[in-house]
Structure 1
Amino acid sequence: MTKLALGAHPFLLGFEQLERLVERTAKTGNDGYPPYNIEQSGDRSYRITLAVAGFAETELSITVEDRQLVIRGRQSEDGDGRIFLHRGIAARQFQRSFVLADGVEVTGATMENGLLHVDLRKAAADTVVQTIRINQS
């Protein structure tokens, strides 16, 4: 039995990049931290919310790299000699990635009560009708 690649199916001409996109999504390395929500906030708008309690805005970065939204957090180490008897609040760096579809753009980001909100908007798709002329051979 041979494995049929997604991009090799005869009805999916030119979709080789879709298979690479699925593979890249599977390799994002997200380990569940920090927790997040994704909600649809309008017909073509979305909001990703990450729980980033303890992080300052300056310790977070949001970038879009090759249609991939990457949110990183890195807290500076406290060097004030504190001794923790119990440390249950995570103070570790993270990287959370989301693959964006064509036409989806980040419109802004806000911090509110320990939650980082990243707003996204999908552009309206243009309907294209093309008539192909048949030439005589």
Structure 2
Amino acid sequence: MIIDSLPDSRVRDRFVDVRDSSPSLTGYATKFGSSGYVVDSVPLAILAAMRSSGLMETMREIVQCGGDTDTIGAMFGQILGAASGTGGLPMDIVNQIDAVSLVRETAVNFARTSIVMNHRFQAGDGSRRS
């Protein structure tokens, strides 16, 4: 799990608490806060993605937490999208995004670049190439 790779920090402490107590999203927000500060927002967004039963339902839960809901919701959406691809997103909403074709093209290019970089690092060649 990610906890083992984190340095001793407040963010790590939050992840340990989440692992050990398994709070709801609102329980986390009540206990720790839901500001845009990284210590509050990143663990909450990851918790939301781990517990998500769907984009819209989880977004509603994030809004109920209060605080910096747009930041936390944006991070959650990105994590969910990265983890599940477009299959985890309601297409009727995705298709309402301005320049959705550009967003899709950018995502495909990012994925291709990530695959190439992953192969380079696995081969022991993490050097930059033009």
Which has the larger helix fraction? 2
Greater share of residues in strand? 1
**TM-score under structure 1 length normalisation:** 0.21
Larger radius of gyration: 1
Higher relative contact order at CA 8 Å, sep ≥6: structure 1 or structure 2? 1
Per the normalisation by structure 2, the TM-score is: 0.22
